[in-house]
């Protein structure tokens, strides 16, 4: 069930005594001699987990100049430390340890999908249908509805392959439906 602080499923965040701007769900974790090395516990507002964590320091590289963590040796050690500040944009998603397989880090703190090179699909050859040498019968139905102005009505049935007019016009009466086969 999703939390939403309903029915006691989750504890609402509370301010920590001695750190009025530190609001966390487990205030007892602050200053308990165990470093909770993730935000908001390991932050300036929470006194770096009440002194349990070393003060964050720069990642010691030129690539991620905005990455500050308590344990820089965890960055890029081959194991994904999936909590902030390690698994963040600023720290290169744990220097690439937390990136999905389809992504690869670049030499700057930006990431892009690794390009995939694939051959163009092979299309089947186009059909080469030409006029058939065999005679074939085709049934065609022509339906024509005339109005009061029969003299203005013209029509043609044309063989598209040869351009030959097969049938055209004819004697028509006003307001009549014609069907030719």
Residue with tokens 């699909």: 121
What is the reported pLDDT for 132? Answer: 59
- pLDDT at position 142: 67
Output the pLDDT for position 140: 67
Which pLDDT tens digits describe the chain residue by residue (181 residues)?
Answer: 455 555 666 778 899 999 999 999 999 999 999 999 888 998 999 999 999 999 888 877 777 888 888 888 899 999 998 888 888 888 889 988 998 776 655 544 444 444 444 455 566 666 665 555 666 666 666 676 777 777 777 777 777 778 787 777 766 677 666 666 5
Q: Where are the beta strands (DSSP E) in the chain?
A: 14-16, 19-24, 57-58, 68-69, 103-105, 111-113, 142-145, 156-158, 165-168, 177-180
* pLDDT confidence of residue 131: 58
Longest dimension (CA), the chain: 106
Name the DSSP letter for residue 102.
T
pTM of the model: 0.46
Contact 154, 169 (CB under 8 A): yes
CA-to-CA distance for 86 and 142, rounded, in angstroms? Answer: 76
Q: What is the pLDDT of residue 34?
A: 94
């Amino acid at each position: 069930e999703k939390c939403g602080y309903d029915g006691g499923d989750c504890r609402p965040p509370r301010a920590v005594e001695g750190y009025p701007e530190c609001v966390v769900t487990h205030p007892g974790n602050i200053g308990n001699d165990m470093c909770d090395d993730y935000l908001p516990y390991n932050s300036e507002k929470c006194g770096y987990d009440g002194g349990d964590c070393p003060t964050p320091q720069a990642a010691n590289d030129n690539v991620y100049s905005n990455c500050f963590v308590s344990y820089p040796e965890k960055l890029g050690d081959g194991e994904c430390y999936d909590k902030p500040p390690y698994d963040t944009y600023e720290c290169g998603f744990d220097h690439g340890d937390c990136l999905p397989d389809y992504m690869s880090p670049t030499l700057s703190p930006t990431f892009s999908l690794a390009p995939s090179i694939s051959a163009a699909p092979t299309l089947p050859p186009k059909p080469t249908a030409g006029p058939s040498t065999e005679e074939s019968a085709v049934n065609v139905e022509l339906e024509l509805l005339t109005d009061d102005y029969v003299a203005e009505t013209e029509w043609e049935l044309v063989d598209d392959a040869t351009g030959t007019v097969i049938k055209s016009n004819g004697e028509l009466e006003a307001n009549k439906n014609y069907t030719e086969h």
